[in-house]
Amino acid sequence: MEPSVRLIPLGGLGEIGLNMMLIESGDDAIAVDCGLMFPDDELPGVDYVIPDFSYALAKRERFHGVVLTHGHEDHIGALPYLLRSARLPVYATPLTRAFVADKLREHALSEAADLRPRLAIDTPVGTIVHTGDFKLDPSPLDGEPADTRRFAELGEEGVAVLCSDSTNVDRPGHTQSEIEVGAALAERFDHATGRIILATFASHIHRIQQVLTLAAARGRHVALLGRSMERNVAIAAELGYLHLPAGLLRPLEELVALAPERQVILSTGSQGEPNSALALMAAGEHKYVQIARGDLVVISARVIPGNERTVGRVINALYRLGAEVLYEDNAFVHVSGHASQEDLKLMLKLTQPRYFVPVHGEYRHLLGHARLAAGMGFAADRVLLVEDGTAVEVTPTTARIIPGYPTGRVLVDGKGIGDVGSVVLRDRQILADDGVIAVALTFDAGGAVVAGPEIASRGVIYVKENEALLEDMKSAVRAALTARDPAEPWDRDAIGARVRTAVRQLVNQRVQRKPIVLPIILEV
């Protein structure tokens, strides 16, 4: 019987973020990445979305570890939640390992952490190449271009499966170099007459280095805003990935005392996150920074699909406060960290895989990448297009698709993990859309009303301007209680149902709204 290996995506195929792929050989398994996703408007109140680990944890005795491709939140952010349930070794390069160690300390998991240098994935059916997010930068800032020779060697030795990043498959040509955006930012720094506020991802160490270098060369000082920005800069500097000119960094309260033309603020919030430093500045609610005319705000990041509205609101608010705002749509202030079409083609040519599985992206990205491979001559049976929960099983001579693996999204809300489900989300959406009305009634032991009904409305009507409707609601409640059969035994749930129905019907009739009605039944 031929050996086989199964690639089981638990997240990241068919969506942006939540990246996690299980690789199984017999009963043995490892995971590639363990990322989270930030919630959209359809998940009110939710902090994070993480993969459903249940299938992986069911194999905990033969679950041998997690391999991390790099240190972005959508690839490492869910790791603390996995390690709460299973003590696993985690393999990563030094910078990613340091980011993970810091994250685990926040979750009080550092004692349970087993962090190790990175390793390659060799399987009984051959080598699996998983690119993670990648770009082939011909002139990277650190002078260390991608090792295309090693990819070619792997291709010559024989690659069983290539799993390759699909995010930028719609973009023709090659992805531009980080050096190019540095030159463009230098021109913006040269012409800025006031304060510069630049927002980018806290994990984009090369972009941060370019900003620090530009500021130092122009006699500006820099303040870091956002816990993740402060933490990542400190970690990268300690490991030697980031060079900090002496005296460049200043606490924010000191920086704002300088002349505007000597200030640079390096901030998180490039995705318009409501509580981020940039969003607070745009709302005029930041403790130290008030946006003023003459400020230049640069959003040096790509807007993640789904975040367009929140980023747009922040940009509009910054403009209203008098700032000049540069972002990807109106200026060259960002280059992608993902490979474009010609780079993706090169990866396929270098590795010469027996089978190809597009990863990282919504379905349209995966399909586009599959078509790109087909255009290069890959036969249809060599390109395996799958989404979360559908596995690819590979043997030395065949490959097939196996659907039906358990997968899903687990919602993290505060300290609760998985306790917010569809019912809670539906209630939150109703509260947001139609509000809530509370009806309080007090009964004596004989079932007679001794107080109430008292009615409170939140998000339905403004009580002071709708006193007549409030009185009609009270009358409807009294009428519903009067209509009870005197022989009917007193029952809290039955009374609550009568009250709920009476109020909902009246409010729907008068104002065409369907709020949540909460009867509060007390007995004395």
Which residues have a catalytic role annotated?
A: 165, 338
DSSP collapsed to 3 states, 240-264:
CCCCCCCCCECCHHHHCCCCHHHEE
Instruction: Report the distance separating Cα 401 and Cα 82, nearest Å.
Output: 27
How many CB atoms are closer than 10 A to CB 361?
24
Instruction: Report the distance separating Cα 436 and Cα 427, nearest Å.
Output: 10
Measured CA to CA in angstroms, residue 300 lies from 146, 198, 303 at distances of: 23, 7, 9
Place of tokens 């009303």: 449
* H-run or E-run covering 517: strand 516-523
* 524 DSSP assignment: -
Instruction: Report the distance separating Cα 38 and Cα 131, nearest Å.
Output: 23
Instruction: Report the distance separating Cα 311 and Cα 334, nearest Å.
Output: 15
Cβ within 8 Å of residue 92, ≥6 positions away: 67, 68, 71, 100, 115, 116, 117, 118
Helices (H), 52-177: 54-57, 73-76, 79-83, 94-106, 148-157
Place of tokens 């040519």: 349
Cβ within 8 Å of residue 241, ≥6 positions away: 95, 142, 205
Distance of CA 239 to the CA centre of its chain: 26
